[in-house]
Amino acid sequence: MSISLNSFPDAPENWDINIATSTAKADGVHMSNDHWDLIRALQEYYSKVEFPHLHQIKKTLDAKFNSRGGIKYLYQIVPGGPIAEGCRLAGLHAPAGAVDKSFGSVA
């Protein structure tokens, strides 16, 4: 699988594929095409909205990944939470409510 920065047109300026890969590895996540699709989807969403909202991101991801099982599938491939962990891997700030400081990832 060949992944290049050109595959992520909406990536934040300081985002790096190698850092995303090593972060995922440290978290026990083995990157697949679906993980890269999640990162791409989150980066695209963030590039289009000024204030990302947790509920809307969930709805957007559920629709985008519907054929693969939606948000439930994403929780299987990203146990740390498809939004909280996904945003971290995508170089984005998780929206309010995605992480509960006393509990951990909730989204």
pLDDT digits 0-9 by tens, 13-70: 999 999 999 999 998 999 999 999 999 999 999 999 999 999 999 999 999 999 999 9
- Distance, in Å, from the CA atom of 107 to the CA atom of 65, rounded to the nearest integer, reads 15
Of 9, 31, 35, the residue nearest 21 (C-alpha): 31
Determine, yes or no, domain membership for 80.
Answer: yes
Q: Taking the CA atoms of the chain, what radius of gyration do you get in angstroms?
A: 13
C-alpha to C-alpha distance for 40 and 63, rounded to whole angstroms = 14
pTM of structure:
0.89
Which pLDDT does position 106 carry in this prediction? 55
Could you tell me the residue range of the domain that residue 67 belongs to?
33-105
In a domain, 76, yes or no: yes
Establish if 19 belongs to a structural domain: no
Residue 70, domain member (yes or no): yes
What pLDDT does 99 receive?
Answer: 73
Answer whether residue 23 is part of any domain.
Answer: no
Say which residue, 95 or 104, is predicted with more confidence. Answer: 95
Our count of domains for the chain comes to 1
In a domain, 2, yes or no: no
Flag whether 89 is in a domain.
Answer: yes
Tokens of 1: 């699988």
| Per-residue confidence band for 95, with pLDDT thresholds at 50, 70 and 90 | very high
What pLDDT does residue 58 have? Answer: 96
Looking at the domain assignment, is residue 9 inside a domain? Answer: no
pLDDT value, residue 75: 94
